[in-house]
Amino acid sequence: MRDSSTPTSQAATPPGDFTRAEVSLFLGKNPWQSHGVPRARTVLKDIAKDPSRTMIVIDPVRTETADLADIHLHVKPGTDAWCLAGLLGVLVQEDLLDHAFLTARTNGAATVIEQLKTVDVARCARTCGVDEDLVRQAARVVGTASNVSTYEDLGVQQGPNSTLVSYLNKLTWLLTGNFAKPGAMQPHSWIAPLARYSTSPRRTPVTGARMPGGLVPCNVITEEILTDHPDRFRAMIIESSNPAHSLADSAAFAKALAALDLVVVIDIALTETVRQADYVLPAASQFEKWEATFFTFEFPTTPSTCAPRSSTRCPAPCPNPRSTPASSANWTPAPAAG
């Protein structure tokens, strides 16, 4: 099922409007420590003390966020997919769906719904180690709320069945119509031009590896270089990355770098990759230049600060140009320095 109201290039998960959400669901995510939500701790405390709002956490660990939650689905490690399947089973089997939204804004929903009608909720609950009544309670809260926002993070994205978990998470807010309205999931204001989605994705010229979002998988780059293929990679521009150290089989990647006709690296540090570059563009760190500092990329606003330009050295002690509160307005690029 695909939400037809957004471009297919919308490859990443939309952000949630947790400031106004009636229900906030955190999946493998502990915003109290990892943030990801503007004013995370303030927002979490506001949700926790508001009796009209509900926080649901799916996590095998009792995190600080789970301590604040109204419902903690304390799953066994690696069973998040079963927990989400159980939630979706309840939503469909008890008809807690937004049929008007699904008819107007999605394609293929009927196929998904038919599959979810067959979900054995009790079995899913047993598999993930959560009481079935609690799974059903959480699903009913989601299905009857006026708006819902969800947030999945590395706790599930780097765990078992991560792609399935991400898909099931998206179904929780799509099937309930929680998209593009206050308190719900919102379209990205920045990522869409950077990635493309297609059911017939591009492939790399040598190995034929799939390029999700138009991106070359890191672990095939070496094979795309160390070959006599006429379309092999011949040059690389590497920015703020150290693949000669961080990629799998770094020795082979270092050999591939040496085989390229041109290597340009942009970085602030003298890394292993920089040492093999033909040209190095030594970038300035955030403490050495006049620029905007982005805290988050949120829809519809982007909080940011911009340090004033100065052509003279600050006296000691140097005044802090970021001492005033960050503004919350759509960012407009500053004029280029002359």
Q: Once rounded to an integer, what is the mean pLDDT over residues 319-328?
A: 38
Task: Give percent of the chain with pLDDT exceeding 70.
Answer: 78
| Res 329 pLDDT > 90 | no
Please report the pLDDT score of residue 307 as a whole number: 53
- pLDDT of 257 > 90? The answer is yes
Residue 155 exposed, middle or buried by CB count within 10 Å (0-12, 13-18, 19+): buried
Residue 11 in this model has a pLDDT that exceeds 70: no
Tell me which of 294 and 14 has the higher pLDDT.
Answer: 14
Asked if 298 and 282 touch (Cβ cutoff 8 Å), the reply is no
DSSP conformational letter for 129: T
pTM for this prediction? 0.64
Q: Which of 293, 302, 338 is nearest to 320 (CA)?
A: 293
Minimum mean pLDDT among 7-16, 41-50, 159-168, 213-222: which range? 7-16
pLDDT tens-digit map of 63-73: 999 999 999 99
Closest among 142, 139, 221, 242 to 183, alpha carbons compared: 142
* More confident of the two residues 335 and 35: 35
Query: Is 60 exceeded by the pLDDT of residue 143?
Result: yes
Q: Which two tokens stand for residue 92?
A: 């469909």
Rounded average pLDDT over 13-26: 89
Q: List Cα–Cα distances, 289 to 278, 284, 323, 337, in angstroms.
A: 25, 6, 17, 11
Span 71-89, pLDDT tens digits: 999 999 999 999 999 999 9
Q: Among 42-46, 171-175, 232-236, 297-301, whose mean pLDDT is lowest? A: 297-301
pLDDT tens digit string along 268-319? 999 999 999 999 999 887 777 766 555 455 545 555 555 555 545 545 444 4
**CA proximity to 173, closest of 330, 336, 302, 14:** 14
pLDDT tops 90 at residue 338: no
Token output for 160: 């078992």
The band of 175, judged by pLDDT with boundaries at 50, 70 and 90, is: very high
As a whole number, the mean pLDDT across the chain is 83
251/267 Cα distance (integer angstroms): 21
Q: Which residues pair with 210 in a beta bridge?
A: 203
Give the pLDDT of residue 327: 38
Residue 38: the pLDDT is 82
Residues 151-165: what's their mean pLDDT?
90
Model confidence over 90-133: pLDDT tens digits?
A: 999 999 999 999 999 999 999 999 999 999 999 999 999 999 99
Q: What is the pLDDT of residue 202?
A: 87
